[in-house]
Amino acid sequence: MGRSATPEGDPARTMELLWGGGSTPISRPRNGKPGLTLDRIVEAAISVADAEGLDAVSMRRLAAELGAGAMSLYTHVPGKTELVEVMLDRSLSTLEPADDTEAGWRERLAAAAHDYFQLLCAHPWMLGVVALSRPVLGPGGMAKYERELRAVEGLGLSDLDMDSVVTLLDSFVAGAARAAVDAAALAAQGEADREWWQRVAPHFEKVFDPDRFPLAARVGASAGEHHDAAYAPAHAFEFGLARLLDGVGALIVDGGTGGE
């Protein structure tokens, strides 16, 4: 499932925010503006984080975005820690359950992985606050976990194996998304991979001895020519996902690990 690495907040209040309603205004509208709600605060916070990163999200900044007083936000959410938990869960809630009941387990896991990968790439700030050891305990996080578990239900795996498969999938997707986001950030600096290589290659070739590292020379040249880059995020994701699913298939054939 989606996991949170945010600092500790108030767990009771966090559960209320995650599972309670967020569309009813608590503060009165002023000057014809919509009343302040948790939903509006979360939407504004996600918008700021998408554009500028999570560090840019503060109560003062959100108040300015919403045309409200900074203290009025605390009526709805006690602090940034709890707000980030809700941001994570709301983002995960956009992963609509797929109508894939007729598909096989491999197709269903692949679809879940692709959806999560695209979500993380669209909201890079999530990569800084998702962690395998702290589940996001809201309806969005639970729906994602449920969808992934349904893909491997009824295949002869123990509950422990089912959770292990989902955890492995989430870990792989997060790592692949982080690499893709990093590659995109480098490209956004204005130098394409090909331009970088054209600038660096003449100097590298002066010091690199292909006879000393024959495999690195041969394989690196082949991969670079194929991808037109030293690293291709989309290929890395698809290749890794296919191999991961191959491993899950082997686990199913073996009847699982025997764990309870």
For residue 136, which of 91, 177, 198, 74 has the smallest C-alpha distance?
Answer: 91
At position 51, the amino acid (one-letter code) is A
pLDDT at residue 198 is higher than 90: no
pLDDT at 231: 82
Pair 254, 156: CB distance under 8 Å: no
pLDDT at residue 2 is higher than 80: no
Tens of pLDDT, residue by residue over 91-143, are: 999 997 766 677 899 999 999 999 999 999 999 999 999 876 788 899 999 99
What is the Cα–Cα distance from 65 to 75, expressed in whole angstroms? Answer: 17
Region 11-92: CATH code: 1.10.10.60
Q: Tell me the mean pLDDT in the region 164-183.
A: 96
pLDDT at 260: 54
pLDDT at residue 22 is higher than 80: no
pLDDT at residue 237 is higher than 50: yes
Q: Which residue has the higher pLDDT, 191 or 251?
A: 251
Which is it for the CA torsion 161, 166, 171, 173, positive or negative?
positive
What letter would DSSP give residue 135?
B
What is the Cα–Cα distance from 207 to 217, expressed in whole angstroms? Answer: 13
pLDDT at 100: 67
pLDDT at 197: 82
pLDDT at 65: 94
Q: Tell me the mean pLDDT in the region 59-81.
A: 92
pTM for the model: 0.88
CATH T-level topology, domain 105-253: Tetracycline Repressor; domain 2 (1.10.357)
Q: What are the structure tokens assigned to 20, written together?
A: 């309670």
Coil, helix or strand at residue 156: coil
Neighbours of 21 (CB within 10 A): 9
Domain boundaries, the chain: 11-92, 105-253
pLDDT at 196: 83
Residue 211 burial (10 A CB sphere; 0-12, 13-18, 19+): exposed
Tens of pLDDT, residue by residue over 72-83, are: 999 999 999 999
Which band of pLDDT confidence, cut at 50, 70 and 90, is reported for residue 32? very low
Neighbours of 74 (CB within 10 A): 12
At position 213, the amino acid (one-letter code) is F
Q: Tell me the mean pLDDT in the region 216-230.
A: 86
218: left (phi over 0), alpha (psi -120 to 50) or beta: alpha
Pair 146, 19: CB distance under 8 Å: no
